[in-house]
Structure 1
Amino acid sequence: MTDAKAEEKSRRKAMLTRALIYIAATHIWAGFMILLFTLGKR
């Protein structure tokens, strides 16, 4: 049973890591788009 618990823990950690990467990438992309629109207004 300990193998199943360890596997579940590692799977959850991988999911959280992937979610954080996706969230960070989305925020960087949104910031870049805001920068483009801000510079485009000038």
Structure 2
Amino acid sequence: MNKNRVKVERRIEEILKIAKQEQMPPLHTNTHLCCKCAYFGF
């Protein structure tokens, strides 16, 4: 299998695991990283 495909599949598994949790994960608080992001306001 392609290395990139394996990485993507692992990330998808991690996302699904988080999505299935009862509680929401802690909010991202480092807004410095997102200051130029289109989602900065969120």
Q: Give the TM-score category using the shorter length.
A: 0.3 to 0.5
Compare the two structures and name the one with the higher helix fraction. Answer: 1
Q: Which has the larger radius of gyration?
A: 1
- Give me the TM-score of the superposition, normalised by structure 2: 0.48
Q: Which has the higher contact order (CA 8 A, sep 6+)?
A: 2
